[in-house]
Structure 1
Amino acid sequence: MIKKILFLLIFCVFVNAQKIQIMASSFEKNNNLLFLNNNVVVISDNYFAKAKRAIYNEESKVLELFEDVFINSQNANSISDYARVDLANKSTEFKNVFLSDLILELWLKSNHSCYTNNVLKVDNSILSSCEVDNPIWSFKFSSGEYNQESKDLSIKNVIFRIKNIPVFYFPYLRINMDNTRKSGFLTPKIAFKSNEAIFYEQPYFWAISHRQDLEFRPQIRTNRGYGLFFNYRLIDSEYSSFNLSSGFFKERQAYVFKEDLKYDSHFGVNLVYASDKIFNNSQDNQEGLYLNYLYLNDIDYLNLSSFYNKTSDSVVTSRLNYFYYQNNNYYGAYVKYYQDLSKEDQKDTIQELPNIHYHHFLTKFFSTPFLYKADFNSTYYYRQNDYTLNRFNINLPIFFQKSLFNNYLNLLLKEEVELNYNLSSNHKNNDFLSNFTHSASLYTSLYSKYNNYLHNINFAFNLYFKNGHNDTINPFYLVEQNEKLNYYFEFSELLYKNQAKLFKHFLKFYTQDSKLKFIGNEMNIYFNKHFSIFNSTLFNTDEEKIQNFFLQGSYNRKDYSINAGYFFNKKKDILQSNYELDKFLSFGVNYDINLYNSIHANTWYNLKTKKLENYNLGFIHKRRCINFTIDVKESTSSKLTQKGVRSYKERGIYFSFNLYPIGGVKYNFTLQGNKDEYDYDF
């Protein structure tokens, strides 16, 4: 027995020179072969292994492990019937192996596998991240390779299965298993649409370098046309980034005629640049430059490109902003360019080119209790077909603040001077406006505690009087003039019991032309930690009617929540000189069926049109290895036709799923509401 132990120790030391130790309860040696039996344990710097039996060839440095072979290597485990480890060539071969990655939480079953030079090759395998027994999803494939350095998994003859049911076949599939950027094809998007037939988009991502990338998205709509869109991103410095996207789509003439489209091709370009450092070299100062230039020939460019969300807004705004902040001074320059796609051209569209802004932050006036701030704005309004306007504005408020009655009450006095001068190119609409506003405010915040209750009261009372001079009314903008004493009163309160909120209330009175104009009231009542009611009401004293009203009740439990409400709004349309009445009922519910499944529903019911609007009904399934969502909802987008921009609704079913850590796909089954046409998007 002593001889056996001594030989085992000597063997471990010898093999340890090869950075490996082998131990067993018993052994036999025959020439260059060492036969180890009962509780074989292998230890190295890179892995730990154990088996019932083992054979080690001292000449070829090959170790074979038999029966219940377990190997732990870095962040992965394997269980197999047989393993062959070539210590000289650093390769491993398995039979009937089960592999699991502890980081990616993936497992793989294979009849035969071989690991050489950081590449794992497998045959006749099953891959999944779900539970091993009867997984929800799995990939069954004939052969595959996994590169441990590049984290790329390539598999052939792949059958995607839900439970044991084959769902889809892939002749070849390549998956990147880490978060680093790699060049390659992205998940395609396939759609079947009633008015466009088959839609197919195949994105390709090109990782040019660690600072820049380029994504191409060619697409074809068999009954409509074809197009190509791309997006280029660049991080040119630690302070700045650059993004350029563009594209083109060509319509078939039959589709143009059918839909009465204004253009048979759609194109656009979007340039975005942002930087936090242009001229500034001081850490005490801040500056920023932001450019977002968007040009397109019609609104359908945004709806056809999957780089943008669908929109029904026909006005596109481009911006160029720059600011510089130093101590208490702020300097800014802004440019806004508007493109109204409902017009033939932009000759009568008003542009802001540019707006110059200076702001001095609130500053104490020497050692006195007076505070002041200042604003200066200069805006140039331009339109090609009519006169232009330069508008200059100066705003200078001065504040005096004082605490009274041992800080129980606060007094704030403010004198504000506002000067406006408008210089038009035709000199007929020049005008000068001066306003002087005098205001006084009293406000406080009081707390009181009663046993387990805490009550907080806040109120503010403000008086203000504005007087001034205005030459003319300029059509570029309207100035509110009010030369009478006005006031507003604000009151709010909070009630707690043992740190649980019971009641929240906000009340406001404000006037116009010295007369009480509106009364606004908001109130939250928390009956318990589950049930609450919210109400918001605005009362117009001139009409002696409610201007808008909203009432909503919410009930929340651990596994479900319900909310229902009523909304009423009465707006005056100045252009048509009549009143529009909006009345809606709202309803929303979320219910967790169990740990993995939940449903949700939200909708607005228009009491005026007797129709459901903005509804959403969905089901969510969430597990560690898979999650998917099914939603029934509607969205709104636009098309530019010969008669102008036309909005239309798309109602339908949206399905998306994600297989961890593989990725996911989105499927859309949509119905165009205004045409009653079915669209099936995958």
Structure 2
Amino acid sequence: MHIKFFLFVALSLGSLWAAPAQKTPAQKGPQDVEVLAENVTKQGTLIHAINNVVLYSPKYLITADEAYYDTASGDLELFGNITMLEGVSYASRTGHTKLNLNTDIGVSDPLFFYDEETNVWIKCENAILNPETYITQKSIVSSCNTQEPDWKIAFTSGEFNKESKWLHLYNPVFYANDVPVFYLPYFAFSTDTTRRTGLLQPEFGFGSSEGFYYMQPIFIAPAVDYDVELRPQMRTNRGEGMHGTYRFVDSAYSSGEITTGYFNEHSDYAEEENLKNSSHYGLHVMYDRSQLLSTKYNNLEDGLWLDINYLNDIDYYNTMSNETTSYDKLVTSRLNYYIKQDQDYYGVYARYDIDTYAKAQTGTNAKTLQELPTLHYHHFTSPLVLDNLLYSVDYKASNYTRQEDTTAFQNQVDVPFSLYFSLLQDYLHVSVSENIYASHIAYGNDDTNDNEGKYWRNYHKISLFTELAKPYDNFYHTMYIELNHIIPSKEDESGYFADFITLNTLAKSTSLTLKEFFYNGDGEKKISHKLVQFYYDDYDYKYGDLENDLKYHVNEQLSFGHNLSYSNEYSKISRNQISINYSDELYSTSLRYTYQDSVYKENTIYKITESTSTDEDYSYVTLYADTKYFTHYNIFTSVNYDVKADEFRSWAFGFKKTLKCWDYSIQYKDTTTPKSTSSSNGIDSVNKQGIMFMFNLYPMGSVSYDFSRESEQKVTN
């Protein structure tokens, strides 16, 4: 800071040169003002100071070439190279100033004013100084360098409120360097970065279909424990609306927020876009509390998490801001509460889903399955008679409900008993367990004769595992090997099982897992490797997918990854992914190729997923890269290429220039995505192409222009 350096030198020299001056008691006025200079004289109540003047007061620290100060009236007049610090935030430079230290009223001509918190400065021909405001004439404002700023705003008159930290400009002209860009009759922005009531940075935008977009957030902070944010918006071709968020803190370990909003479509836009609803509204309630009862009871831990969502259609999310876009089919609300004490855990969970697609088609959510509620009890692993004989209990009761179609109430319990010991001087660890699982389902609203389902089984599990580590001359190797063998024993199944019922079924199987890591002499991880193979006794195919995951860290910047799944059932690769990642101070890139066959299955020790993860195989190449090689510039690109369809699903390229006082970015995007709309057309594929331009002036805010076009195609389900 040049101003701070100047003040430091001035204060140092002023202190030295003040020693020869005749300092009298009259130099300290009624406002506790002290004047230091090379030459100080006093006639009555008037003090005259010349050369390296330094003036102290409770509010100001001032340096100047010459000063006249009347101790009776508080009038101060300064001449030449005046630097004034007001508090810790504001500094100014001027050639001539008149100021009354009792009233803080005065004038300066010319004036250079600087706000240290935001780097905003104002330069004007003359200014009127008041206790709370500076009124300026023929001024320039910017946050860039004072010499040849990248951007500036020239205005005929303005007012800066030091209390509210708002700067009001009249007849402003925006300049890029010295080129005028546009004119406004009035413009205002805040330089305040503290939490307080006022206007937040607005959002601007322009789209080919929705027209000009403007949102002006209003922040209201009446107390330290809660605030309100209102976000009125307008889209000239589409409609108007408002969203609001109430945030609160009700204890040292809990907080929450409530968001709601409403957007009304113009009738011609709703008709053109074939929207089913001409208005969109919704509600979101979030509450998180880490301690509810634990403050009153010892040895108790509990927590509550609430996330409630309601909307009339998915376009409620898509109109919350210019950047919000949601294609989710399900909107989920959850309530989770748990209590944990010693060896016991109790949980209550609830889930409510809104199927936006079904609601758009039928106007009702009656057939969407809900979980209201699920009760959960778990007893943690504990010794039984012997220290190495362990058991645990897990019980769940789930109520699956909906207004139409099948409902169910499911009870299920899982109890494993495990005997643990080690052999071969602790090199080999052994776990033998007996596992009991049972489930009962009672149905409602069912048209079939089967109104219940019963299932129980027990199985034996034997696990052998070892952990080894060995240092070598140039590297360090760790290895974990586990062999699991599951033997189903008794099993009984009767009744009806709906497609939404989950059972902990399994087959007789053996699995082998290998995990290993290699470290160099400096302790840096170089290679990580995982290998998993399943063998099944009771299936037509004996071997499950062989899964191999390998990562090689060349150095801190570069790494290679390869994830491979081989289907022994079909004798072909079911999934293959190769990735390369690089990142340093100047360059960052990620290249990934993924192939997944329709036969790919997720195999685990406890459950075999029979259904394929996709209906058909796919092959994708994704790329992201950016560079900061050019000073102040970040150039980036991304590609998502469908190899099978031989088409780009999305691609984009652009750049962003970042300077001290502003940044701007330009990018071209071409994206094809599924979209769940509120129109009667249902699920569509939307292709969006266009250029987005965004620039941000610190601390005024950002403006974006989206020059794009959209085309929709019906997806065949």
Normalising to structure 2: TM-score of the pair? 0.85
Q: How does 1:450-529 map to 2 (within 5 A)?
A: 450-467=472-489, 468-475=491-498, 476-479=500-503, 481-513=505-537, 515-529=542-556
Kept after mapping to 2: 8 A contact 1:185/1:205? yes
Give the structure 2 partner of residue 443 of structure 1: 465
For 1:534, give the aligned amino acid. G
In structure 2, the CA distance between the partners of 1:44 and 1:198, relative to structure 1 (3 Å rule), is closer
Q: How far 1:14 moved relative to its partner?
A: 3.8
Q: How far 1:48 moved relative to its partner?
A: 3.2
1:613 lines up with 2:649 in the alignment: yes
Say which of 687, 695, 706 aligns to 1:657.
695
Name the SS of the counterpart of 2:616 in structure 1.
strand
Q: How many pairs align?
A: 672
Q: How far 1:568 moved relative to its partner?
A: 0.6
Q: How far 1:569 moved relative to its partner?
A: 0.7
Deviates more, 1:653-662 or 1:5-14: 5-14
Q: How does 1:42-57 map to 2 (within 5 A)?
A: 42-57=55-70
For 2:356, give the aligned amino acid. L
For 1:620, give the aligned amino acid. K
Say which of 84, 97, 101 aligns to 1:71.
84
Name the SS of the counterpart of 2:544 in structure 1.
strand
In structure 2, the CA distance between the partners of 1:254 and 1:625, relative to structure 1 (3 Å rule), is closer
Give the structure 1 partner of residue 408 of structure 2: 389
In structure 2, the CA distance between the partners of 1:385 and 1:22, relative to structure 1 (3 Å rule), is closer
Matches of 2:353 and 2:437 in 1, distance apart?
28
For 2:645, give the aligned amino acid. T
Give the structure 1 partner of residue 108 of structure 2: 94
Say which of 317, 330, 340 aligns to 1:315.
330
Name the SS of the counterpart of 2:24 in structure 1.
helix
Kept after mapping to 2: 8 A contact 1:335/1:355? yes
Matches of 1:40 and 1:100 in 2, distance apart?
21
In structure 2, the CA distance between the partners of 1:431 and 1:59, relative to structure 1 (3 Å rule), is closer
Give the structure 2 partner of residue 550 of structure 1: 577
Q: How far 1:396 moved relative to its partner?
A: 1.4
Matches of 1:561 and 1:250 in 2, distance apart?
43
In structure 2, the CA distance between the partners of 1:653 and 1:325, relative to structure 1 (3 Å rule), is farther
User: Any idea what the Cα deviations from partners look like across 1:265-310, whole Å, max 9, x if unmatched?
Assistant: 3333333344445455236423333333323232222212329932
Give the structure 1 partner of residue 665 of structure 2: 629
Matches of 2:560 and 2:256 in 1, distance apart?
47
Give the structure 2 partner of residue 372 of structure 1: 391
For 1:310, give the aligned amino acid. T
Query: Identity across aligned pairs (percent)?
Result: 29
Say which of 329, 343, 349 aligns to 2:368.
349
Kept after mapping to 2: 8 A contact 1:151/1:177? yes
Say which of 343, 346, 351 aligns to 1:328.
343
For 1:327, give the aligned amino acid. D
Q: How does 1:285-300 map to 2 (within 5 A)?
A: 285-300=300-315
Say which of 35, 38, 62 aligns to 1:25.
38
Deviates more, 1:493-502 or 1:182-191: 182-191
Give the structure 1 partner of residue 603 of structure 2: none
Deviates more, 1:303-312 or 1:292-301: 303-312
User: Any idea what the Cα deviations from partners look like across 1:515-537, whole Å, max 9, x if unmatched?
Assistant: 22111111123345554321110
Give the structure 1 partner of residue 617 of structure 2: 581
Name the SS of the counterpart of 1:302 in structure 2.
helix
Q: How does 1:62-461 map to 2 (within 5 A)?
A: 62-75=75-88, 76-280=90-294, 281-282=296-297, 284-306=299-321, 309-343=324-358, 344=362, 345-365=364-384, 368-425=387-444, 428-461=450-483
Kept after mapping to 2: 8 A contact 1:225/1:249? yes
Normalising to structure 1: TM-score of the pair? 0.89
Kept after mapping to 1: 8 A contact 2:30/2:72? no
For 1:396, give the aligned amino acid. V
In structure 2, the CA distance between the partners of 1:197 and 1:70, relative to structure 1 (3 Å rule), is closer
In structure 2, the CA distance between the partners of 1:622 and 1:640, relative to structure 1 (3 Å rule), is same
Matches of 1:158 and 1:271 in 2, distance apart?
42
Comparing both structures, which one devotes a greater share of its residues to strand? 1
Matches of 1:172 and 1:352 in 2, distance apart?
55
Kept after mapping to 2: 8 A contact 1:187/1:665? no
Q: How far 1:392 moved relative to its partner?
A: 0.2
Matches of 2:170 and 2:452 in 1, distance apart?
76
Name the SS of the counterpart of 1:571 in structure 2.
coil
User: Any idea what the Cα deviations from partners look like across 1:544-597, whole Å, max 9, x if unmatched?
Assistant: 100110112234444213333321111249899995121112222221123421
Kept after mapping to 1: 8 A contact 2:203/2:701? no
User: Any idea what the Cα deviations from partners look like across 1:16-69, whole Å, max 9, x if unmatched?
Assistant: 664222233235556654443233232345443322222233443323221112
Matches of 1:656 and 1:362 in 2, distance apart?
56
Name the SS of the counterpart of 2:377 in structure 1.
strand
Q: How far 1:165 moved relative to its partner?
A: 2.2
In structure 2, the CA distance between the partners of 1:488 and 1:267, relative to structure 1 (3 Å rule), is same
In structure 2, the CA distance between the partners of 1:316 and 1:40, relative to structure 1 (3 Å rule), is closer
